Structure 1
Amino acid sequence: MTREQKIQNDIRVAVSKSGCTIFRANVGKVLLENGRWFDTGLPKGFPDLFGFRHSDGRFFFIEVKNEVGRLRDDQKRFASMLKKYPNVIYGVARSAEDAIKIVEE
């Protein structure tokens, strides 16, 4: 089974080569030495990767899953919200090829 981190890295390279700027959304919480939690501030369910196409400036969001990965409920809710906006592109990718199809929609 392929690790999602490898799939993400493959997608970042492929999508960058296809005329897009792409970013990885680092999410999570970290316990600091002083006992306080640091939260990245992104909402629950925010997709793994996001960016924009150079050709028209449209934003895209890509949730990355491996061969057996499934969307969590918070990811489904976030996807539903994004899909309400016709100028926003959203998709789930299990490979670089899937991601290219999403951004070239």
Structure 2
Amino acid sequence: MALAKKHDQLPLDLGQLYAADITGAILAFLTHYGYTVWRQNTTGIYDAAKARWRVNPQSRRGVPDIIGFRNRDGLFIGVEVKAGRDQLRDDQRTFLNELRAAGGLAFVAHDFAQFQQSFELRGLHCQVV
């Protein structure tokens, strides 16, 4: 076996990342590139009297997990994070399509590397703060 082949490395296996891990990495990445972003909590309200979760009447269904804006021009960004077998719901797809139609940046991230590649392919990586 040639020396180079003997020492070739296999790709680093990080295992299955949870949505919270992917979200944290994307938040840090976007902050580095000049965005003000946050994790948007879309969990309902717990009704103790009925012992169940109910929809928050002041919220909008389908809002992405990460929302924010680009600091230099206020361009809105929305990133829906999906881990494992999780799939986009119709209301999430509708929100992202409306955001895209309005000129905002809409992403679906299944892992950090895929998000980063999509971000860079759109030419958005050039504006480091």
Q: Tell me: higher relative CO, structure 1 or 2? Use CA pairs within 8 A at least 6 residues apart.
A: 1
Residue 17 of structure 2: SS of its match in structure 1?
A: coil
The structure whose residues are more often strand, as a share, is: 1
Structure 1's unaligned 5+ residue stretches are none
Q: Which moved more, 1:5-14 or 1:62-71?
A: 62-71
- TM-score normalized with structure 1 length: 0.79
CA distance in 1, matches of 2:57, 2:67: 16
Residue 74 of structure 2: SS of its match in structure 1?
A: coil
Shift of 1:67: 4.8
**Matching of residues 21-100 of structure 1 within 5 Å:** 21-35=36-50, 39=56, 41-86=58-103, 88-97=104-113, 98-99=115-116
Distance 1:103 1:52, change over 3 A: farther
Question: Which stretches of structure 1, 4 residues or longer, exceed 4 Å deviation after superposition?
Answer: 34-38
Distance 1:38 1:70, change over 3 A: closer
Distance 1:32 1:69, change over 3 A: closer
Matched, 1:5 2:20: yes
Structure 2's unaligned 5+ residue stretches are 1-15
**Contact kept? 1:44, 1:74, Cα under 8 Å:** yes
The count of aligned residue pairs is: 104
